[in-house]
């Protein structure tokens, strides 16, 4: 039994509680009241992105040599941060499964399944935690993706705040999502001889799934916010 599973369970419970309290903490505007579940879900996701993305960025800033060994070593707290993220993705998976129709959420459910498996391996084996920390840098961009959804639900599309967020969102998308995933795929290719076949297969399949999903999302963002 891994102590990391306790962190996962605690994280699941904490994000579940946060989700239930968010409507009181951040009351939805009139334009979002018809979809209260979505309003709570996005704010919960935003909280996770700030925590995990900020934590991952701090890890690399405080430990610049981390990229030299992404398999066996990791900075203090990194394992717990990855376990917290597993708990969040499990909570979000259950939340979508209970409140949204499958044809509306299958892409995110599929995405979450891949992340839970990959991060779960790192939590259980206490290996590849550094690699998972690289993946969490993607959450820096997710902050602005979630802010974009909040502004859309609040009917604030035609505002300076939305336009500014769109620009920052695009910039962080390229830096923290596209470039990060490309670097991870490159790392896997270079280290294929040092990674067990089963783990390498999981990582390769994960990259093969995430890359086209993120390219499609980038196209949707460009079409919606810049080429409308």
Q: Which pLDDT score, from 0 to 100, does residue 87 have?
A: 97
Q: Tokens 């993305």 identify what position? A: 53
Mean pLDDT, 10 residues at a time, the chain of 228 residues? 87 96 91 92 97 94 84 87 97 94 86 92 91 94 96 93 95 94 89 84 87 90 86
The token pair at 181 is 């995933």
The token pair at 171 is 């910039």
SS (HEC) of 60-105: HHHCHHHHHCCCCCCCCCHHHHHHHHHHHHHHHHHHHHHHCCHHHH
The token pair at 3 is 């102590």
The token pair at 119 is 């991060």
Q: Residue 45 phi/psi, 5° resolution? A: -65, -40
The token pair at 45 is 């996701």
The token pair at 26 is 């951040």
Q: What is the pTM of this model?
A: 0.92
Whole-angstrom Cα distance, residue 87 to residue 215? 26
Alpha helices (runs of H) in the chain, residue ranges in sequence order: 3-25, 36-62, 78-99, 102-125, 129-136, 138-153, 160-173, 179-190, 197-225
Q: Which pLDDT score, from 0 to 100, does residue 15 have?
A: 97
With a CB cutoff of 8 Å and minimum separation 6, the contacts of 118 are 132, 135, 202, 203, 206
Q: Which pLDDT score, from 0 to 100, does residue 1 have?
A: 57
Whole-angstrom Cα distance, residue 160 to residue 6? 43
Tell me if 204 sits within 8 A of 105, measured CB to CB.
no
Q: Which pLDDT score, from 0 to 100, does residue 102 have?
A: 83
């Amino acid at each position: 039994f891994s102590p990391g599973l306790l962190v996962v369970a605690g994280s699941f419970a904490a994000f579940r509680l946060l989700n239930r309290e968010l409507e009181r903490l951040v009351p939805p505007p009139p334009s979002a009241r018809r979809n209260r579940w979505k309003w709570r879900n996005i704010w919960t996701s935003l909280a996770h992105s700030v925590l995990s993305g900020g934590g991952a960025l701090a890890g690399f800033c405080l430990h610049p040599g981390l990229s030299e060994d992404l398999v066996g070593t990791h900075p203090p707290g990194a394992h717990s941060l990855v376990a917290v993220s597993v708990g969040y993705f499990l909570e979000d998976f259950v939340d979508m499964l209970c409140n949204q129709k499958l044809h509306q959420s299958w892409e995110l459910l599929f995405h979450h399944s891949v992340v839970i498996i990959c991060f779960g391996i790192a939590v259980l084996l206490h290996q590849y935690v550094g690699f998972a920390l690289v993946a969490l840098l993607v959450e820096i961009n997710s902050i602005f993706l979630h802010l974009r959804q909040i502004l859309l639900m609040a009917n604030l599309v035609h505002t300076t705040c939305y336009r500014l967020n769109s620009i920052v969102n695009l910039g962080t998308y390229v830096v923290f999502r596209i470039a990060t995933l490309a670097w991870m795929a490159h790392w896997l290719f270079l280290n294929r001889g040092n990674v067990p076949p089963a783990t390498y297969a999981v990582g390769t399949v994960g990259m093969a799934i995430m890359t086209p999903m993120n390219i499609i999302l980038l196209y949707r963002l460009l079409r919606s916010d810049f080429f409308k």
